[in-house]
Amino acid sequence: MRIRVETSSGMPITRQIAAQIRAQCASGALQPGERLPSVRALAAELAVNQNTILRVYERLTAEGLLQRRHGDGTFVADRVPSGQMRAQRELLSQQIARVAELARTLGIEPEELHQLLQDTLDKGLR
C-alpha cells in the first residue's frame, strides 16, 4: 500500500490517509478482502503516531469500507458500500468535467483528449 503524508498541507494527516485508502479501494489497487498493514506497521512506515492510524482505520470501518476482525487485523470490506461507490463516481465525474472544460479552453480536440487519457492510463499500468 503506497501512501504519502504531507505535513505542510492544511489537511489533517488522518484525512490524507483516509482519502488515499478510499481512492485505492475505488480504483481496485486495494481488493475486497485484502488485508491492510497493522496499525503499528503502517505507523512505522509513514512515521506517524499509532493513534492517528488507529483513528483512520476506525473511521473507515464506521463507513463500511474496512472490516476489523478481532485479533486478525484490518481488511478491505468484501462489498464496497454502494454509497461509497456513488460518492467516488461523483468525485471522479467532477474532476473529468474540469479536465474537459480545460481542454476546450486550450482548444484541444476531443480525439486528442481521448488519446491523452489513454496514454496516461497506459503509463499507469506499466
- By CB under 8 A, tell whether 10 contacts another protein: yes
Measured distance CA(52)–CA(125) in Å, rounded: 31
Number of residues written out for the chain: 126
Tell me the window of 30-38, 40-48, 76-84, 111-119 that interacts with another protein (CB under 8 A): 40-48
Of 4 and 123, the one with the shorter C-beta distance to another protein is 4
| Cα–Cα distance measured from residue 94 to residue 15, given in angstroms and rounded to the nearest whole number | 20
Q: With binding defined as CB under 8 A, does residue 15 bind another protein? A: yes
What distance in Å separates the CA atoms of residue 95 and residue 62, rounded to the nearest whole number?
26
Please report, as ranges, the residues that interact with another protein according to CB under 8 A. Answer: 5, 7-15, 39-40, 43-44, 47-52, 54-55
